Amino acid sequence: MIEKLEEVIKKVTSPANRIGTFLGATSKETAHIVVGGADYFCNIDPRIPLAKLKKGTRVLVNEAFVIVGDLGFETAGPVTKITEVIDKDRLRVGSEHGLQSMVLQRSADLAHSTLKSGDEVRVDSNYRMALETLSSTKSHEHYLDNVPELPWEKVGGQEAALQAIKDAIELPLLHADLFQKFQHATPKGFLLYGPPGCGKTLIGKATAYNLTKQLREKTGAEMQEYFMHVKGPEILNMWVGESERMVREIFATAREKRGEGFMPFLFIDEAESILGTRRASRHSNILSTLVPMFCSEMDGIDSLNDVVIILASNRADLIDPAILRPGRIDRKIKVNRPDKEGAREIYGIYLTDDLPYDGVLAKEVDGLAASIERLIERFVDWQFTRRDENKFLEVTLRSGRERYFPYYRRHRRLAQADRLRPRKRRQNFACQTGLRRASACNLWRDLMPAKGK
Ligand SMILES: Nc1ncnc2c1ncn2[C@@H]1O[C@H](COP(=O)(O)OP(=O)(O)OP(=O)(O)O)[C@@H](O)[C@H]1O
Ligand SMILES: [Mg+2]
């Protein structure tokens, strides 16, 4: 009974053990540890084999700072980014511009892993050892988009745009030697602009698919495309410098992938949101640093052979001229709304013979192919005829001299013409009737002043 009591008293009065990080053996019986920021050379309980202790592992120490237990690696802790791999033992981590950076040792687990700057590592609570890498590739892969099989034939009604792409990109890439011989400057990419839904993203992906395929055939090497789909607004970040860091990282990933044998395509959708014209306003601060950052990254790319940059925008007029100057992205390719012939081609791509069709058409003509053709023909005719229900706006000049009857399928032309017309003339519009679409709002607003006059 007394013995039991003594045992309990001993248990409840003995002090807690501290936990330290094992940094390495200094001799056969002593070890270098750090406990709460202070370093110690300490002895080890002979029951613990020193050779089995791993660098970076947590150890239990008693009052005399003797190692009495091995707790294994910590599982949680701060994460930081490698800025430089100094040698096989040491890593420099911290912010890229050198502030608050420090040097860490590699733990036993990281001793043989290949690390590079930009990788994220977890650090022990004493900030001495890098314990494990956290795959930072995931944040890069975020932009990776898969490219389906998209031969040029799957893009309908955009001959002019496709021809322009072939001239601007395909030739310099496939005949790099000729371009070099005649010292012909090659662009670093191109800008696709035009109304929404007309195939800009589709053409971007088709470019990646076809170019890589042609390069593969030409060089005979097994080459894959690496299509990075960056949506402009995704890059915008409230933290100062964070957006610029993302731009740097995106370009670094593209270059890295080129090194790994991929053909990288950097597709920036809604480009006007991050590459908009810089203005002297309090709210556009971010653009005043993001645009130069992007320009300097682009200048760092030697040629198309490294990375192909494709910008897409509905509002090309808002993109900063510095981005679009010769030597950077000087090819602007318009993706128009398809005309009647184009619409016919697009329907032809999607109305394949494996879809279930109503039998009525089959009675009129022989064979499925003929009936699909008939269906497309009828639909396109219906779509492009001027009917009362697709009449979009009726405008009469105040003088009563001119009248416009635009139809929905053509309303854009009017909107454009309207923008070009001098303001004074616009105010001559006197009345509006038959407004059918919300998209007409801009026009409507432009015409409003005339109402009260
Ligand atoms: N010329 C075309 N040929 C074949 N399919 C087309 C064509 N244009 C558009 N499409 C179809 O319409 C879909 C939408 O087009 P897409 O996303 O490329 O438009 P977008 O111009 O990028 O639009 P946004 O400006 O809104 O981003 C495509 O996935 C494709 O299926
Ligand atoms: Mg798009």
* Each residue's pLDDT tens digit, 174-230: 888 888 888 887 788 899 999 988 899 999 999 999 999 998 888 888 888 899 999
Give the ligand whose atoms come closest to the C-alpha of residue 196. 1
Task: Give residue-wise pLDDT tens across range 391-411.
Answer: 777 777 777 666 666 665 544
Does this model's pTM top 0.75? My answer is: no
Q: Domains in the chain, start-ordered, CATH in brackets?
A: 15-72 (2.40.50.140), 79-137 (2.40.50.140), 142-334 (3.40.50.300), 340-385 (no CATH), 389-447 (no CATH)
Ligand 1 centre to CA of 406 (Å) is: 25
**200 vs 338: CA distance, rounded Å:** 12
Model confidence at 107: pLDDT above 70: yes
Ligand found nearest the CA of 150: 1
- Distance from the alpha carbon of residue 199 to the mean position of ligand 2, in angstroms: 7
Measured in angstroms, how far is the CA atom of residue 263 from the centroid of ligand 2? Answer: 21
Nearest-angstrom CA–CA distance, 174 and 308:
13
Tokens at 358, concatenated: 């109503």
Q: What is the pLDDT of residue 408?
A: 59
Given this model, what pLDDT does residue 402 score? 61
Question: Which of 20, 124, 131 lies closest to 71, judged by CA?
Answer: 20
List the one residue out of 74, 82, 40 whose CA is nearest residue 54.
Answer: 74
CB-proximal residues (5 Å) to ion ligand 2: 200-201
Q: Identify the pLDDT of residue 96.
A: 58
Local confidence band at 41 (pLDDT 50, 70, 90 cut-offs):
very high
The closest residue, in CA terms, to atom 1 on ligand 1 is: 156
- 313 or 1, greater pLDDT: 313
Nearest CA to ligand 1 atom 7: 199
User: Tens digits of per-residue pLDDT, 407-449?
Assistant: 655 444 444 444 434 444 444 443 343 344 434 444 444 444 4
pLDDT of residue 57: 93
* SS3 (DSSP) at 132: strand
* DSSP-assigned states of every residue in 77-107: --EEEEEEE-SSSEEEES-TTSTT-EEEEEP
Nearest atom of ligand 1 to the alpha carbon of 313: 25
Q: Please provide residue 381's backbone torsions phi and psi, each rounded to the nearest 5 degrees.
A: -60, -45
Angle among Cα 75, 78, 80 to the nearest 5 degrees reads 120
Burial 86-117 (b: 16+ CB within 10 A, else e): eeeeebebbeeeeeeeeebbbbbbbeeeeeee
Spacing, Cα 170 to ligand 2 middle (Å): 22
Per DSSP, the residues of 5-73 read HHHHHHHHHSPPPEEEEEEEESSSSEEEEEETTEEEEEEB-TTS-GGGPPTT-EEEE-TT--EEEEEE-
Mutate to test the pocket of ligand 1, among 192, 198, 352 (most ligand atoms within 8 A of CB): 198
Ligand 1 atom 9, closest CA:
199
Q: In Å, how far are 92, 137, 384 from 110, measured between CA atoms?
A: 14, 17, 66
State both tokens at 337: 């709304």
pLDDT tens for each residue of 295-312: 888 888 776 678 899 999
453 Cβ contact partners less than 8 Å away, ≥ 6 residues apart: 398, 427
Residue 128 is encoded by which pair of tokens? 């001495």
Which ligand 1 atom is nearest residue 342's CA? 1
**Which residue has the least CA distance to atom 14 on ligand 1?**
197
3-class SS of residue 356: coil
Which residues form the pocket of ligand 1, taking CB atoms under 6 Å from any ligand atom? Answer: 155-158, 196-202, 314, 346, 349
**The pLDDT of residue 429:** 41
Q: Distance, CA 227 to ligand 2 centroid (Å)? A: 14
CA of residue 141 to ligand 1 center, whole Å: 24
**Residue-level pLDDT at 409:** 55
Which residue minimizes the CA distance to atom 10 of ligand 1?
Answer: 199
